[in-house]
Amino acid sequence: MTTTTPSRGRRRAPSRIERAAGKAAALQKPRVILALLLLLGLTSVMLLDGYLRAEVGGDERVRDGASSSKVPDKIINGGPILSFRSGQATTISVPSKTIALTFDDGPNPTYTPQVLKILEKYDVPATFFLVGSMVSRYPGIVKDMVDQGNEVGIHTFTHVDLSYQSDARIRREMTQTQLALAGAAGITTTLFRAPYSSETDAIDNYSWPVYEKLGEEGYTSVFVDTDSDDWKKPGVSKIVKWATPSGTSGAAVLMHDAGGDREQTVAALPKYIEQMRAKGYTFTTVSGVIEAQNTAARAGQQVNAPAGTAGGQFQGGNQNGTDRLQAAHREATGTTLYEGKALVVAVAVAEYTVPTLSVGLVIVGVAVMGRFGMMLVLARRHYRLRNKRRFSWGPTVTRPVTVIVPAYNEKECIANTLESLAKSTHPIEIIVVDDGSSDGTSEISREAARSLGMTNVRVIRQENAGKPAALNNGVRNASYDIVIMMDGDTVFEPDAVHQLVQPFADPEVGAVAGNAKVGNRNTLIGAWQHIEYVMGFNLDRRMYDLLRCMPTIPGAIGAFRREAVLQVGGMSEDTLAEDTDITIAMHRAGWRVVYQEHARAWTEAPGSLKQLWSQRYRWSYGTMQALWKHRKSLTDKGPSGRFGRVGMPLVVLFQIVTPVFAPLIDVFTAYSMIFVDFRAALYAWLAVLGVQLVCAAYAFKLDKEQYRYLLMMPLQQLAYRQMMYLVLIHSCITALTGGRLRWQKLKRTGEVGTPAGVG
């Protein structure tokens, strides 16, 4: 065993890497916050869209058998307009030969404009009771409606039955609809019609307190005299017939411009207007009825109205509609106006974002399923090719090789690493490059080598310069033409080196990726990473190997021709992923990079979520840096161009684009469970999970792993995968905003040793 005297003793001041890591960590915090804010924003948009798309319709709902003992008889037997003056409930009837034409559930982008066009053609005003969520989605229609001289009222925000709602919910339904009206047309209204309501005799003890409360707040509740029942789609003639009052009675008539297929309503409306005018009827709004009653009251007239009500004859069509509308409409000002406009803008964003994301979901879904299919097919083909009896890389490689172990504060692990190498069945020399450790890594390495009787170990201590510099130092000092690079927290199986170097019998091979295993897999986080390593990494490598575009030689176990490493300039410090960087450089230099699944190493995976985040952030961001650095390979010729046009698109698609947008699957699953169809969404999610389980099970079969770890997979999909999404989003934000990290040291425990039964 030989040693190299360090150029400088142990330093108390923070090292360069420690200073850089601290500075970088401070810079990353805002980016993490930005990533979380983006996720929160997406979630908020989805929730808003789902809330807005609550089902509107279902007027067939009735509430039978409810008592009305608390409702005054004069209200039950009164007219369709209920107001509260000086705390007293009063109803108003529509004057004879007068129609207050009302529409519920709008606006609808298909039918409401058609209804408005018909009303404009016949110069007929109407009162539209609007659903707030629909108003916020189609503000332009509402503005046209008001500008045309029509009247609007509130039909709640989500078309909910207020009879069973809390005071807070009632207040929210009304306030949100008022804000939507303010943002859409710059007005608020005093008119209200409850969903699932009909005539006043349907008021019961459940709904009466709601009308009383709203009356105290200044709202006029509007019911109906005549229901067209157009929601039943009975045919045009029946809609006209059912909407026609008996004799010469006036009526508040109910139709619908939304909430379902309203083609029959649109077809019936002009026929109804013509028929009623032929009978001598005029049309007005709810405010027109109220104004007529007020006028009659002031003149001391008694116009035929039922006992307990007041009424007045209204004439004149729509000629003074704008003046009458002021009675129900109020100009929105101040906070209400600005909040309303903000609501409309937010809804517009949601209306644009969700369909766009839906398209993205389809693309991502196809890409994810395509990747699974490609991995299964190519991994199976790779397995069959490499395990044929006649398959051979060439003559058996038996010559000695150099194993380089970069180490920075690896006191917990370095002894186990050297002990595993001492059992190697292949002749090796070992170079431990201590990158300025402050925990006695060098001394522990020398002591471990002495206790194990290893004479083939050299310990080189250098000033702290980072992992790439440590590896390059090892390459320069290597005695042999094949160098194996491993991490200081990794242990090799006895035949790992021998298996790893066999592909070098082929002179075209410049680098070999080994099979990295998670050693500390008995914890929950470790088990999740174990599944990821077997399925996501090793199955991928089989695919990339067959396509001859392997993107990464894992730092835990990889072998290189020394000549090839020197040819591409050694391990680069330009990126955080020096292993990916040099692998791509090997491809571009014309060397072949292969995967040797039989060369197994056991590494200690991060034991905490914080360390896992740090590691995966470095991996994903470093990969992006390496791809950008070698972007010119897209237009190169030969082997470089092959990687650029085959490997690089696959890496970008499968390791960056698809994972970045993969959260859409989970977001839309949750969205569908809440707002669409819980059972169908659950089945779809389980189907995707089933496909993943099949892929994972096949990967475990190829690697001869125990299937029991797959029991952790559903929980992995719910928790672990979400964290990986956030890490990648964080990396993308960093890539877009700039930033850099140096080699980060993870806290190790040294619990990973050569597995029992191996050796």
**Three-class secondary structure assignment of 240-276:** HHHCCCCCCCCEEEEEECCCCCCHHHHHHHHHHHHHH
Annotated catalytic residue, options 256, 382, 498, 587: 256
Residue pointed to by tokens 């990353």: 28
Cβ count within 10 A of residue 571: 26
- How does DSSP classify residue 509? E
Cβ count within 10 A of residue 394: 12
Q: Calculate ∠ Cα 137-356-623, nearest 5°.
A: 145
- How does DSSP classify residue 552? -
**The two structure tokens encoding residue 341:** 């406009």
Q: Give the integer Cα–Cα distance in Å for 216 and 210.
A: 10
Annotated catalytic residue, options 49, 104, 225, 435: 104
Q: Give the integer Cα–Cα distance in Å for 127 and 139.
A: 17
Residue pointed to by tokens 């969404």: 681
Which phi and psi (to 5°) does residue 81 adopt?
Answer: -110, 120
Which phi and psi (to 5°) does residue 510 adopt?
Answer: -110, -20
- How does DSSP classify residue 162? G
498 is an active site residue: no
Closest CA to 150 of 324, 330, 274: 324
Residue pointed to by tokens 């998670």: 518
630 is an active site residue: no
Do 510 and 595 touch, CB atoms closer than 8 A?
no
Alpha-carbon distance values, 316 to 149, 288, 293, 724 (Å): 14, 10, 15, 68
- How does DSSP classify residue 658? H
**The two structure tokens encoding residue 543:** 């695919």
Name every residue whose Cβ is closer than 8 Å to that of residue 181 and which is 6 or more positions away in sequence.
Answer: 130, 132, 135, 142, 152, 154, 187, 188, 189, 332, 340
Q: In what order do the strands lie in the sheet with 482-486?
A: 2-4, 457-462, 428-435, 401-407, 482-486, 557-561, 509-518, 592-603, 490-492
Radius of gyration over alpha carbons of the chain, in Å?
Answer: 38
Name the residues annotated as catalytic. 104, 256
